[in-house]
Amino acid sequence: SYYCICPTGLIGPSCNPSTLTSCSESPCNYLSTCQQLTNATSINYKCLCPKSLTGDRCQYANNCENQPCQNQGTCLPLGSEKSFMCLCQPGYGNYDCSTYLGRSCSPSTCLNGGICYSNNASIQCMCPSGFAGVRCEWNSICSSNSCSKGGTCRQTAATMAECLCTTGFTGPTCNLRDSCANFPCKRGGACRTLDVDTGTGWSAYQCVCPPGFYGTTCDSYMVCPSYKICNEQPTGPVCTCPGSQVGTFCQYENPCNLLSSSHCSNGGTCVPSNTDPPVASCLCSETFTGFNCNSIKQSNPCGSNPCQTNGYCALSASNTSYSCICQPNYIGNQCERTNPCISSPCLNQGVCQGYWNATNTWYICSCVGTYTGTHCETSLLNPCGGLCMNGSPCVNGTCVCPAQYTGTYCGLTNPCYNPICRNGGFCSVNFNSTNVSFTCTCQSSFTSQYCETPISPSLTTSCLPQCNNGGTCVSGVCVCAPQYIGPSCQYRYTGTLCEATLCSPTSCNGGSCVATQNTIFCSCPIGKAGDRCQYTDACAKNPCSPNQACVQIENQYQCMACYDKSTFCSIYQNYTEYCNSRYALLINNILVPVPDACQLSCKQCNPIKNSNSSGRVLTELNDDSDSIVTGKYKYLIDNMQMTSIPTQNEISSQEEKCFDRRDDCSIQKAYGFCAIFNEKYPYHCAKTCDPDCASLS
């Protein structure tokens, strides 16, 4: 099969040159003006478009009407749907002239190896492969197959792109043939392309007909008698008829006049239907029903107002049942449940639909265009958001890191890439959004941070705690059976890489433990916090004011008025050039400038220098109660930032420092974990592990 894309003035399956050659054929959009040309050959007309339309037949919406070009840039409509081009003033760039580059090149103008070109009036960055953006600041998400049928992929943000389709094609990826390219609408009707696949590879379309015409292709006249037209609809006119005439064009006698006056019983009224031909029916009084209003109506199911939260009760056709039409914020059989779509969880214009059962409510996002994911957060053109670093590929929406890197986006150096744990110890990687660390799990006869210290044989013959999993106690040290490791042989080698299973019933202090490689992650229950759920959640009772964020530090909390409002902010710690108001993050469906959204990562928080400012006490929660203990630390607020300063009564004596805050310090020492506690948690087991406290024991 084949199809034709017609040149100016020609239409039809084969671009018939004998059609639409003059204004008498209504070739122009009905909102435009057709000008007849006198000295033309085959096509002797010209369409004069209003400002809102463009194209040789004024068939396209003028996208320049919305003034997309910033900074006094000049907009040129390209004719097709959603397509325009901006001619920027000297010094400005980007597809919408939104970025100021300057008028001369500098070493920092183009990023990521981009080459700067200047013509003394404006500059342009030529980006290497894999990068895009006016300054080559983005990882490119466009590829040669992003847009089909010769369409052009234009990247508009770090994680967003759009396809500019060639004439005759449409759709999110230009995968559909544009039905409007063959001008199916007649009589000057405007053709509106719909990005819906009809199953034939062609897009759906809709004709907007001029006054006096209707039908799928505007080919039908609205023929009313010489009476007023009440309403013009795409399916035809509705005429206001005189006397007893009814019907679409007033061509029928009112059927109620042909029936006896007793046709409708019990005070019912005969009314004609809005059909051709019309049918007589009875409009019954409130207490009767039936074809002739001769049946007593059953009790009204809506009489008890079953629909809650101002929902509307709609009766069924038989008046025996009802359904509730709820207000936008509610769902449920009786509008009794809060609509989970209130928070607008679906991104990128996704449509949210709420559902419910006997116990739960939930929502499903129906994504549009090239987006997918639970919240339509992932673009099919770039499922990882362009955030994978160090050459890591994106697989099923996850960055797959090379061996020497780790982290969610592979931006952190893997401390376990080179052997760091000695004497057969296993290296475990621990990371968050900004930092990475490691932990060595030692063989039973070694200890210290790198498993470099042999454990001296004990004079006692017993092991505390006792050896597990078939381990043997030799001179106070557990000698583990094959496939086991740890001070008490509590860890077992497993997995394709023989990593140790680190989870135990007590690993997360009542939380849920998940082992990955040689480390664990704890999911804490409500009321608990900490990397091992070892602290009471100090932020659970919302102790801070609404414009502050509660941050837990061990078993204490701190109210931060200057903080990051998105987990993506950590990226900007290493890419400070984006801490600029020209860039924005989408937070709760609102675009917030990066410096305002990422105050902490962009170093917008100013430290305290004046010790005479008004103070606020940083509070500490006891692990065994919800009571508040104050006076250990004192924090001051200035310029939206809290910074610790010492006070006179906070200088503790050496004796006051040397006490254990945990009940298992002696066991941790037996495991050989004192070095880790002294480095990361120096106050947890100070009396047991701190060498400075040994003389006081």
Segment 213-232, tens digit of pLDDT: 777 888 777 666 655 556 66
Distance CA 603, CA 612 (A): 24
First to last CA, the chain: 93
Q: What is the pLDDT of residue 335?
A: 93
Nearest 5°: phi and psi at 580?
Answer: -140, 145
d(C-alpha 54, C-alpha 77), whole Å: 7
**CB of 211 closer than 8 Å to CB of 234:** no
pLDDT of residue 324: 92
Cβ-count burial of 471 within 10 angstroms (0-12 exposed, 13-18 middle, 19+ buried)? Answer: buried
Report the alpha-carbon distance of residue 164 to residue 84 in Å, rounded: 9
Query: What pLDDT is stored for residue 6 in this prediction?
Result: 57
The enclosing H or E element of 22 equals none
616-645 pLDDT per residue, tens: 333 333 333 333 333 322 222 222 222 232
Check pLDDT > 60 for residue 363: yes
Residue 437 in this model has a pLDDT that exceeds 90 = no
Going by C-beta distance under 8 Å and a sequence separation of 6 or more, which residues neighbour residue 695?
none
Q: How do beta strands 412-413 and 405-406 pair?
A: antiparallel
Cα–Cα dist 154/253, whole Å:
62
pLDDT given for residue 621 in this prediction: 35
| More confidently predicted of 224 and 533 | 533
Q: CB under 8 Å to 697, separation ≥6 — which residues?
A: 658, 687
What's the pLDDT at 599?
Answer: 87
Identify the pLDDT of residue 8: 52
Residue 578 DSSP symbol: G
Token pair for 486: 């740890």
Any idea which of 52-61, 449-458, 557-566 has the lowest mean pLDDT?
449-458
Give the residue, 299 or 672, on which the prediction is more confident.
299
In this prediction, residue 688 carries a pLDDT of: 81
| Percentage of the residues of the chain whose pLDDT score is greater than 70 | 76
Residue 480 to residues 92, 93, 104, 474: CA-CA distances in angstroms?
69, 67, 69, 10
Long-range contacts at 101-108 (CB < 8 A, ≥ 24 apart): 101/125, 101/134, 101/135
Model confidence at 174: pLDDT above 80: yes
DSSP-derived letter for residue 455 is P
What's the confidence (pLDDT) of residue 334? 92
Q: Distance (Å, rounded) from C-alpha 132 to C-alpha 565?
A: 27
Residues 312-335: what's their mean pLDDT?
Answer: 87
Q: Select the more confidently predicted residue: 518 or 26.
A: 26
Q: How many residues does the chain have?
A: 697
Q: Does the pLDDT of residue 137 top 70, yes or no?
A: yes
d(CA 549, CA 557): 10
pLDDT at 308: 92
State the chain's mean pLDDT as an integer.
Answer: 76
- φ and ψ of 208, to 5 deg: -100, 105
Torsion angle of the four alpha carbons 280, 281, 283, 289, in this order, in degrees rounded to the nearest 10? 160
- Tell me the three state secondary structure of residue 696: helix
**Local confidence band at 1 (pLDDT 50, 70, 90 cut-offs):** very low
Per-residue model confidence (pLDDT) at position 648: 30
Phi/psi for 286 (5° steps) reads -60, -30
Residue 638's pLDDT is 27
User: Do residues 101 and 91 lie in contact, with contact meaning Cβ atoms separated by under 8 Å?
Assistant: yes
Over 80: is that where the pLDDT of 682 sits?
A: no
Whether omega for the bond prior to residue 277 falls within 30 degrees of 0, making it cis, is: yes
Task: Identify the residue with better confidence: 293 or 655.
Answer: 293
Structure-block tokens of residue 187: 């009589």
pLDDT (0 to 100) of residue 341: 93
Beta strands in 171-326 (DSSP E): 176-177, 190-197, 203-208, 213-214, 220-221, 229-233, 236-239, 245-246, 252-253, 269-272, 280-283, 288-289, 295-296, 312-315, 322-325
Is the whole model's pTM more than 0.95, yes or no? Answer: no
**456-494 residue pLDDT tens:** 655 446 777 788 888 888 767 777 777 777 677 777 766
User: CA 650, CA 655: separation in Å to the nearest integer?
Assistant: 14
Range with the largest mean pLDDT of 214-223, 280-289, 552-561: 280-289
**Beta-carbon contacts of residue 200 (< 8 Å; ≥ 6 apart):** none
Burial label for 63, CB within 10 Å (0-12, 13-18, 19+), is buried
3-state secondary structure of 364: strand
Identify which has the larger pLDDT, 19 or 453: 453
pLDDT of residue 282: 92
The counts of H helices and E strands in the chain are 5, 60
Per-residue model confidence (pLDDT) at position 159: 81
Residue pLDDT, tens place only, 580-624: 877 777 777 777 888 888 888 888 876 533 333 333 333 333 333
Instruction: Specify the pLDDT at position 82.
Output: 61
Tokens in use for 608? Answer: 């305290």
d(CA 254, CA 242) in angstroms, rounded, equals 11
Side-chain-facing half-sphere of 228: CA atoms under 13 Å: 4
| C-alpha span between 142 and 157 (Å, rounded) | 11
Q: What is the mean pLDDT of residues 633-659?
A: 37
- Is residue 578 scored above 80 in pLDDT? no
Per-residue pLDDT at 378 exceeds 80: no
Give the C-alpha separation, 338 to 354, whole Å.
Answer: 9
Tokens 């006792």 belong to residue: 466
